[in-house]
Amino acid sequence: MNPSPSTHETSETPVLRVGLLGAGTVGSQVARVLLTQADELAQRTGVRLELSGIAVRDVTAPRDVELPRELLTTDADAVIDAADVVVELTGGIEPTRTRVLRALNAGTSVITGNKALLAESGRELHDAAAASGAQLSYEAAVAGAIPIVRPMRDSLAGDSVNRFLGIMNGTTNFILDQMDSTGAAFDDALAQAQELGYAEADPTADVEGHDAAAKTAVLASLAFHSSYTIADVHCEGITGVTAEDVAAAKEAGYVIKLLSVGERCGDGVNLRVQPVMIPREHVLGGVRGAYNAVFVEAENAGSLMFYGQGAGGDPTASAVLGDLVSAARAIALGARGIPLEPYAALPAVSMDDVTTRLSVTLAVNDRLGVLARLAQVFADHGVSISTMQQSEDPRVNETSLLRLVTHTGRHASLVATVDALRELPVVRDIVSVTPVEAGE
Ligand code: NDP
Ligand code: HSE
């Protein structure tokens, strides 16, 4: 689409040079929109967004989008130095961090989708932006196309966020959804995610929860006016989730999701990423396939739900371009970037003090008095049992499988209970331990 020139645009329309770092899945789609919809973007911003250079590793590599050869270069610094605004879509920590700082230190605004960098060096980047007056924007870094960074940073800035729960990794949601809907084993569902292009050839960051943990740190920093890194996030991936766990959860009316949580806890905030059992009727229970969703609870706004595509070239480019239009408007007005002050400095608290529930599956000897022994261990630790199901263990004779769900308790007490159960001679095996998310 190439709309007719704006009635407002004249030969005097100022030009904003956009330096693009990276032309892969996301960068190529950002370039496509800049090249094909320049007139319409000029009408929206009052400035002409001119793609001034594209830094890549290999200028001869085939691209998803046809890009003018003269714009491609391996000299990222030259692209940065010639730009009025830099769009960083290369990923990784170094040399990206050094390049982003180069731009910000020079007063050049930066738009990035790089959650890994933000979750490691976000404070340093924000400080550099604040010092030079540049803007630092990163809507694409959390949940792809879903507007959640700006709502958290701006729309909810007058409210007080108590908690967010998110499905913020599309690859793992696809895998868990396949396991739930088809009974597939983890490895088979992962292979399918790779075939469909959702998971990378090396899916470690997704399946181990690192990608979701980085997004959790980035979103929590905005939600709680503090500064968190990925090291502040308790992180468990989904590689240990079995087809049996998923089937048992389903039978009990739950679905297993890799959940990102940021919540106030005592005088601090607990941040965690874990595979969790969610009631199927919970608003996040119905998030299927590679979709993402973030559920936010704020003091005055109440409950809010954000839903959409969390990955992919076109959806993520939409978030990047939204940031770019916004930055262009501000630059056209001569506005400085708005500094983000982590004034609240709420400490990240450990899992010990979190209030949670656990589903515990045990293989036990099928003998008189076993249930009483188990119940005593729960009582000794002050942990109350909510539900219990017993079935024969198909794997071993004279063994029962017990699936217990606790009432809420202090996480440390729940873990101590499981440790004590493991020591009981009547317990043959702790088959699985999965947190249970209660609520809406
Ligand atoms: P890709 O791997 O598809 O593309 C990376 C691009 O960066 C390539 O064009 C590559 O060049 C270039 N590049 C990599 N390293 C360098 C370097 N050292 N110097 C110059 N160029 C370099 O990544 P994506 O497009 O998928 O992701 C980009 C960013 O967006 C990442 O931070 C990612 O986390 C984030 N993001 C991605 C989403 C997605 O769905 N893909 C969703 C949300 C965020 P070449 O092509 O020559 O190899
Ligand atoms: N690998 C990520 C996902 C891409 O699957 O959600 C978006 O950050």
Residues 389-439: tens digit of each pLDDT: 888 877 777 788 999 999 999 999 999 999 999 999 999 999 999 999 865
Q: 52: closest CA among 73, 25, 28?
A: 73
- What φ, ψ does residue 391 adopt, rounded to 5°? -145, 165
What's the CA angle centered on 229, arms 410 and 116, to 5 degrees? 125
pLDDT of 93-126, one tens digit each?
Answer: 999 999 999 999 999 999 999 999 999 999 999 9
What pLDDT band is residue 16 in, cutting at 50, 70 and 90? very high
Q: Which ligand 2 atom is nearest residue 205's CA?
A: 1
Q: Do you know the residue count of the chain?
A: 440
Share of the chain above pLDDT 90, in %: 89
Edge-first strand listing for the sheet containing 72-73: 72-73, 48-55, 15-21, 85-88, 109-112, 136-137
3-state secondary structure 409-420: EEHHHHHHHHHH
Q: What is the mean pLDDT of residues 13-20?
A: 95
| 20 carries a ligand binding annotation | no
pLDDT exceeds 70 at position 4: no
**Distance between CA atoms of 194 and 439, rounded to whole angstroms?**
33
Structure tokens belonging to residue 290: 């590679």
Among protein residues, the one with the nearest Cα to ligand 2's atom 4 is 311
> Is 215 noted as a catalytic residue in this protein?
yes
What pLDDT band is residue 10 in, cutting at 50, 70 and 90? low
**Helix intervals (H) in 20-95:** 27-36, 38-45, 76-81
CA of 28 to the centre of ligand 1 (A): 9
Q: What is the mean pLDDT of residues 132-158?
A: 97
Correct CATH for 355-436 of 3.30.70.260, 3.30.70.2190, 3.40.50.300, 3.20.20.70? 3.30.70.260
Residue 345 region by backbone torsions, left for phi larger than 0, else alpha for psi between -120 and 50, else beta? left
pLDDT exceeds 70 at position 440: no
Structure tokens belonging to residue 437: 């998310």
pLDDT at 155: 97
Q: What is the mean pLDDT of residues 329-352?
A: 94
pTM of the predicted structure, to 2 decimals: 0.95
Mutating to test ligand 1, I would choose from 90, 146, 174 the residue with most ligand atoms within 8 A of its C-beta, which is: 90
Q: 66: closest CA among 103, 25, 35, 100?
A: 35
Q: What is the mean pLDDT of residues 149-161?
A: 97
Instruction: Indicate the domain borders of the chain.
Output: 6-144+314-332, 162-310, 355-436
What pLDDT band is residue 2 in, cutting at 50, 70 and 90? very low
| 133 carries a ligand binding annotation | no
CA of 242 to the centre of ligand 2 (A): 22
**CATH number of this structure's domain 162-310:** 3.30.360.10
**Distance between CA atoms of 228 and 121, rounded to whole angstroms?**
10
Q: What is the mean pLDDT of residues 202-229?
A: 97
Superfamily of domain 6-144+314-332: NAD(P)-binding Rossmann-like Domain (3.40.50.720)
**Distance between CA atoms of 144 and 404, rounded to whole angstroms?**
37
- Any idea which residue has 């048992």 for tokens? 248
What ligand is nearest to the CA atom of residue 140?
A: 1
What pLDDT band is residue 11 in, cutting at 50, 70 and 90? low
pLDDT exceeds 70 at position 313: yes
CA of 382 to the centre of ligand 2 (A): 40
Q: What is the mean pLDDT of residues 64-84?
A: 97
**Distance between CA atoms of 107 and 131, rounded to whole angstroms?**
8
Contacts of 108 (CB under 8 A, 6+ apart): 80, 83, 84, 85, 86, 134
Q: What is the mean pLDDT of residues 342-352?
A: 96
What pLDDT band is residue 9 in, cutting at 50, 70 and 90? low
**Distance between CA atoms of 167 and 287, rounded to whole angstroms?**
8
What ligand is nearest to the CA atom of residue 67?
A: 1
| 4 carries a ligand binding annotation | no
pLDDT at 439: 56
- Higher local confidence (pLDDT), 3 or 196: 196
- Pocket around ligand 1 at a 6 A CB cut-off: 22-27, 55-58, 61, 76, 89-91, 95, 113-115, 140, 144, 311-312, 316
Chain mean pLDDT for the chain: 94
Packing angle between helix 243-251 and helix 170-182, nearest 10 degrees? Answer: 70
Among protein residues, the one with the nearest Cα to ligand 1's atom 48 is 57
What ligand is nearest to the CA atom of residue 144?
A: 1
